Structure 1
């Protein structure tokens, strides 16, 4: 998708936001809660004409889920259809968060940047020439599943050695011997060697991957987001140092590593905007639009449900 000339931030009247988990029962409960919340705020849900969903799994325009553990576009539509008739526009949560950062956040005005989210997983996205890059299936930018040498840990994707096994919240906690992110943060602040080593290993792996990616597209900036960045702001500088070590030393590079500015709500805002502003000709604009779960939705109020795994 490309960035429009005018891009006002969706207001409460333009969007309804919820978080969508992978559990069918929970999805139904959240849709019900979302509808009730909208009603309590005086929003007439019968006027909803567009539904945007961010799925916390690799999902692009023509991608198909290869595991029964994850919902398909049709599964999502069967749930949202009980409350809203519009066929949902479905895309990856991280891609939608990156799109929102380009519209209203840290990437506003930038023609190119790499977005990386360090959360329950490690998700990435590339923006080039003001376009959210997806290529054939919309899966470009899955940086969390690039293999790092010397790492043989099994990843949830089925591969071994992915960055996600070093730099996600669960991976960091396991390597540091912490039960959760709060305990990990306390250990780091107490200068616990195991915790510090885990965080340094994550920064090194991320820097390596981002440096390799930067050599390909030379982005204006790297935008990092997620709970790990929020808990350890210094990691931006550590990542930047390791990234620069991968770049050509004989050239001057002007690539900033910055924190995302929209927070968790960014993905929901991106989904709502895409749902409410569909492409008029998907075939002619194939490289610029996200995956659609069926017919084009009419412009109007966007209902956005976004997941938060990666």
Structure 2
């Protein structure tokens, strides 16, 4: 399961959308401008018309015979939805076929106790935003991942690649929500950090760290050590060029990046040159959700084939979820 992270070559549908974004056009004008046949144009337009991204309008130009039919972009049609769901926030973005953000929702500290309820809450907020703007949404499923190889986002056989939060850390016996014991999530997630530091939330944890509270400092150091250990193990397996650390903890404590990097490098073979950059993300939750939507809207190879197959399997939830529009109406 692979997803592109670079712009793929534009399809005929993409080229039609780009042309219509400048002005409406007839089929003949599109054939001439895009240098394609009526047959190829017809196939591509069928897709765009069926999903509602393009709509026909009649020209008012005087003349005899049938009125000329103009085609134009439907500004109220959503093509893809990106969702970013974490324990402490949820973000959702709706994109048009041309990549324009039509609606967005960002929920901080969701009250829903489970992932599915949090997801439902986010979808309701996005739906309300879309409805208030008259946006037409049709949804079908797709899944994202978090390992990038050769500029392609790799999800693995079942979309589970990159489940680093459930790698076991030696010496840790805490029970994880997944049913295992010792997962790095029990040391480095925001709820675990706050519980270990005796803080109610990140705001209290930050105040305790700035006050040099020993319990809070120990919790933060334990999280950095656990994350560094896991990233070091991952680096030994895939030898990445760069590792991006992101999330509320990194945003609240930027200095943790260096601690994570130091612990990661301690796990690497000292006799070899690794040259791995550990950097922080420059995108916020809504931008990350927008990226999920872009990936969902541009399936590659096997993913496109899977979408065209008559049987569709169930989707697997992951921290970054891409949902592609154009299927059954929700």
If the TM-score is normalised by the length of the shorter chain, which range does it land in? 0.5 to 0.7
Aligned equivalents of 2:292, 2:324: Cα separation in 1:
14
Question: How many positions carry a matched residue from both structures?
Answer: 221
Q: Are 1:244 and 2:265 counterparts?
A: yes
Look up the SS of the partner of 1:89 in the other structure.
coil
Is 1:213 aligned to 2:234, yes or no?
Answer: yes
Q: CA deviation at 1:251?
A: 1.2
The structure-2 alpha-carbon separation of the partners of 1:228 and 1:282, relative to structure 1 and needing over 3 Å to count, comes to closer
> Is 1:33 the equivalent of 2:85?
no
Q: Is it true that 1:87 corresponds to 2:152 in the alignment?
A: no
Secondary structure of the equivalent of 2:279?
A: strand
Do residues 45 (structure 1) and 135 (structure 2) align?
yes
Residue 178 of structure 2 aligns to a residue whose secondary structure is: coil
SS at match of 1:282: helix
The separation in 2 between residues aligned to 1:7 and 1:225, in whole angstroms, is 30
Structure 2: give runs of 5+ residues left out of the alignment. Answer: 11-94, 308-312, 316-322
TM-score, with length taken from structure 1: 0.63
Q: CA deviation at 1:26?
A: 2.9
Q: 1:5 to 1:197 in 2, by over 3 A?
A: same
Task: Pick the aligned partner of 2:291 from 270, 275, 280.
Answer: 270
Q: 2:208 aligns with which of 187, 207, 213?
A: 187
Flag the 1:285–1:255 CA change in 2: closer, same or farther, 3 A: farther
What's the TM-score once normalised by structure 2's chain length? 0.59
Residue 196 in structure 1 maps to residue 198 in structure 2: no
Structure 1 vs Structure 2 CA RMSD: 3.2
Pick the structure with greater CA Rg.
2
Q: Distance in 1 between matches of 2:261 and 2:302?
A: 40
Tell me if 1:173 matches 2:194: yes
Residue 18 (str. 1) matches residue 39 (str. 2): no
1:13 & 1:278 partners in 2: Cα distance?
A: 18
CA distance in 2 between partners of 1:162 and 1:245 (Å): 20
Per the alignment, in what secondary structure is the counterpart of residue 154 of structure 1?
coil
Cα deviation, 1:271-302, whole Å, max 9, x if unaligned, reads 2213333447637589xxxx886x97549xxx
From the superposition, tell whether residues 36 and 157 of structure 1 become closer, same or farther in structure 2 (CA, over 3 Å).
Answer: same
Q: Secondary structure at the match of 2:161?
A: coil
Higher relative contact order (CA 8 A, sep 6+): 1
CA deviation map 1:64-108 (0-9, x unaligned): xxxxxxxxxxxxxxxxxxxx2x2333425xx3xxxxxxxxxxxxx
**Residues in 2 aligned to 1:280 and 1:12: alpha-carbon distance in whole angstroms:** 21
Q: CA deviation at 1:4?
A: 3.3
